[in-house]
Amino acid sequence: MTAATPAAQDEAVDLLCDLIRFNTSNPTHPERPAAEWVAGKLDEVGVASRIIESEPGRASTVARIDGADPSRPPLLIHAHLDVVPAEPAEWSVNPFAGEIRDGYIWGRGAVDMKDMDAMVLALVRDWARSGRKPPRDIVLAFVADEEAGGRQGAHYLVDHHADLFADCTEAISEVGGFSVSLDRQTRLYLIQTAEKGINWLRLKASGRPAHGSLLHPDNAVTRLAAAVSRIGAHEFPVVLTDTVRALVESIATVTGLDLDPERPEDWLPRLGGMARMIGAALRNTANPTRLAAGYKENVIPSSATATVDCRYLPGQGDALLATIDELLGEGVEREAIVTDIAVETTFDGALVDAMCAALRAEDPAGHPMPYLMSGGTDAKSFSLLGMRCFGFSPLLLPPDLDFSALFHGIDERVPVEGLRFGVRVLDRFLSAC
């Protein structure tokens, strides 16, 4: 089996630069222009697609590639088109210029996740031009609204157009298959088999309004601030999932070290910058993100609000909310803004074998293994249709690149050679799965 042609690898670089130039910041810049561009790129090589809007401008593009064996269930590849906002003054480059500099493609979406959009588009176009077919049908979904929970994207597609995906049994998407260097010789490739659930909460405290000059203990602001402080300072207990245990066992096998999953201080630092993401997958988390109160400096307001980004491990959703309720205190209420499930599958089966083989073919020294991601993806939506969902957007990364810091961070970028590596791995994988 051969990997993707140099032309496909080159095109992935060009397509990513072009995609970054579409400002699809959620929610201010709808995805429709990017969705139309994707549909146009597919149409150029004879691949029919359909643009579906959940509301004006919030558009997703769906297509189906015929495989050699139509009796096999299709594989879904889903990738989102929206990005989080970027403040240009904070960046070294224009975040929407799609600039290549110092061996990297820079811009908002370079790793989250327009790189996967570009790699998949480049491969599909290359196959169509050469007449190649994958072993089974592939359904492509370039979706809207992932960065806000997917209600206008993947969730909408599942709720209103499930027939487009009804026969898919497996899916791949973002934040998996990337390299983590333990040292100059040892590279792990983390394949996402699980992700935490989401509970974005709005807290509201009420009190009696008054003049700001008075003694006034019934103050909504101080009541809310105390609750937010308790939540932000709380450390949830470590809960080791099956996925985390499998990860630690795999690292122990690779390194020859006797590592105890119950002692993360012994193995977590070995993961470098990825220790932040993996460390957040050891426990539930609750991070206050916004505060709002009042309308004038000398008026004590009658209410104050805050938002908290809560993420829970598989099976730990009720426990997280019970803890939040204990921390709120009297006079503070909570309501859900976005709630979504945790997802977990096992690291086995023919699809996993194909992922591992494709990675090893391009990096014989690599060691694929499962991990649980602290964030969330559109797998939460598509798993509701009975699919096994994986994060597999392969990249070979420099040992000194703090990859996890690039997600929603400033100076987001992906190495050109790492992207080319990803195209080759995806081609091997999709040609075998």
Does residue 1 surpass a pLDDT of 60? Answer: no
Q: Cα separation of 232 and 389, whole Å? A: 31
pLDDT band with cut points at 50, 70 and 90 for residue 214:
confident
Q: What is the pLDDT of residue 215?
A: 85
CA dihedral 317, 155, 343, 309 (to 10 degrees): -40
Q: Give yes or no on whether 6-194+342-432 and 197-229+284-341 have one common fold.
A: no
Burial class of residue 191, CB neighbours in 10 A (0-12, 13-18, 19+): buried
Q: Cα separation of 383 and 205, whole Å? A: 36
SS3 assignment, position 49 = strand
CA dihedral 356, 271, 403, 84 (to 10 degrees): 100
Q: What is the pLDDT of residue 348?
A: 96
Q: What is the pLDDT of residue 5?
A: 86
Q: What is the pLDDT of residue 271?
A: 87
Of 274 and 21, more confident: 21
Q: What is the pLDDT of residue 340?
A: 94
Q: What is the pLDDT of residue 195?
A: 96
pLDDT band with cut points at 50, 70 and 90 for residue 2:
low
Using the structure block, give the residue that is written with the tokens 């690779």: 254
Range in 3-7, 40-44, 151-155, 332-336 with the lowest mean pLDDT: 3-7
Q: What is the pLDDT of residue 166?
A: 87
Q: Mean pLDDT over residues 368-385, rounded?
A: 96
Detail the DSSP E strand segments found in 250-331.
Answer: 285-293, 299-300, 303-312
Detail the DSSP E strand segments found in 196-236.
Answer: 197-206, 210-211
Q: What is the mean pLDDT of the chain?
A: 95
Boundaries of every domain in the chain:
6-194+342-432, 197-229+284-341
Q: Mean pLDDT over residues 101-123, rounded?
A: 98
Q: Is the dihedral of CA 223, 226, 229, 234 positive or negative?
A: negative
SS3 assignment, position 52 = strand
Does residue 402 surpass a pLDDT of 60? Answer: yes
Say what percent of the chain tops pLDDT 70.
Answer: 100
Residue 426 parent element (H or E): helix 416-432
Burial class of residue 386, CB neighbours in 10 A (0-12, 13-18, 19+): exposed
Q: Given 3.30.950.10, 3.30.70.360, 3.90.226.10, 3.30.565.10, which CATH number is that of 197-229+284-341?
A: 3.30.70.360
Tell which residue, 109, 86, 106, 89, has the closest CA to residue 98: 106
Q: Mean pLDDT over residues 45-65, rounded?
A: 98
Q: Mean pLDDT over residues 336-363, rounded?
A: 96
Of 78 and 276, more confident: 78
pTM of the model: 0.93
Q: Mean pLDDT over residues 249-268, rounded?
A: 91
Does residue 4 surpass a pLDDT of 80? Answer: no
Q: What is the pLDDT of residue 274?
A: 85
Of 270 and 13, more confident: 13
pLDDT tens digits, residue range 152-205? 999 999 999 999 998 999 999 999 999 999 888 889 999 999 999 999 999 999
Sheet of 285-293: strand order equals: 285-293, 303-312, 197-206, 332-340
Q: Mean pLDDT over residues 401-413, rounded?
A: 94
pLDDT tens digits, residue range 231-240? 999 999 999 9
Class of domain 6-194+342-432: alpha beta
